[in-house]
Amino acid sequence: MVIGDKTTMASDSLDLGLRFIVEPSGTTLSIEERQQLAELQPAGVMFRKRNFLKDAPYKEWLEAYRNLLGEIRSAVRRSSFIISIDHEGGNVVRFPPPVTRFPYPAIYASSDTAVERVAAMMAVELRSLGINLSFAPVADIHSNPKNPVINERAFGRSASEVAHAAGLFAKNLRAGGVIPCAKHFPGHGDTESDSHTTLPCVQRSKPELLERELKPFQALIHDQIEMIMSAHIMVPSLDPSRPATLSPAVMRTLLREEMGFQGITIADALGMKAIHASLSSGSFAEVADAAGIDLFLMVGDSVSISDAIAIRDEWRRSITTSARPGKELLATQNRLENFMNSLPTYPVTELPHDVWAAHQRVAVDLSQNAPWSAFVFDPSGFV
């Protein structure tokens, strides 16, 4: 079909499920979730702490998790599948013990050796849990002391510190067999509010962003980072009317054309309040796709697999009359298929006690010798 000079296409020629990562609601799949996964056939899943038996012994929660992952694979029926999680250290750890609670990046960025060891040890643990994609490293800079959500999650307070440590982390996580994802583009460090609860704003000019917030991302792009996650923030100097996730000026013009990123883009969790209202617009997927988002991370307490299906169905109905060229939709699909085909697959396996003990010793040592004493925490805890 041709509308003007825009070639459109039939929606049945697209694998729209490939554009979604979703989250199961508990430690087992309900009959409804199993049916929904089979219908949507998402690109992958993301796990959070609600997907694990928190107070159970290691062998018990590991077996329950193994069964859950098997249920998901059986329902989705994709030969290549994203198994993902947020895993940074500090409070951004979803698994129960004995999975190691390494300190925050601000702490283990104290030396190159520490960054390398933490990333390598994380990779060992994540592989044993079947994880092939981790939403780390944080490439934001701790540039605003009033920031309530990034602060100690950042690798440092300057562009050079973050670029170096985040790059080292990504390199060693990748070497350990787990795909890294840099976040939160174009930089969430200079905000004074949390995008989980509201829409933050970065009041910096583009030259200022190029000199600071964007430098770690540019370094990671130079090192061929595979995936970059958008931030649900307003940056008026880049786009005065749309948050970064939904902005072609940010995700296409800046990230892809000016900074040269060729990998996969993913929206930060779409259950976050900064973006959630946009989901009900009736054209969310079309808008996000046009902005340059490849993957929609449909996770959070306010969204479900059924929401992903509803968005997919609305998008499918709009595709044949969309102004978005069909060749661009197919190019995105091809990019995702190539990425999926490169993913490793790992069985869920039990690690021996001495591995956990060695990793725990490193976590405790790093925490006790932390240069940022305000951020020392108990590495044996679970959040």
Residue 48's alpha-carbon distances to 24, 42, 45, 87, 331, in angstroms, are 9, 17, 10, 10, 31
| Residues 338, 341, 342, 343, Cα dihedral to 10° | 130
Rounded Cα–Cα distance for residues 229 and 272 (Å): 14
Q: Which of 120, 131, 136, 125 is nearest to 47 (CA)?
A: 131
- Distances 371 to 140, 364, 376 between C-alpha atoms, Å: 19, 14, 9
Q: Taken in order 152, 255, 267, 193, is the CA torsion positive or negative?
A: positive
Strands 133-134 and 82-85: parallel
Judged by DSSP in three states, 282 sits in coil
**Cβ-Cβ contacts under 8 Å for 27 (sequence gap 6 or more):** 50, 51, 52, 53, 64, 65, 68
Q: Which residues pair with 85 in a beta bridge?
A: 47, 134
Q: Is 321 exposed, middle or buried (0-12, 13-18, 19+ CB in 10 A)?
A: exposed
Catalytic residues: 196, 268
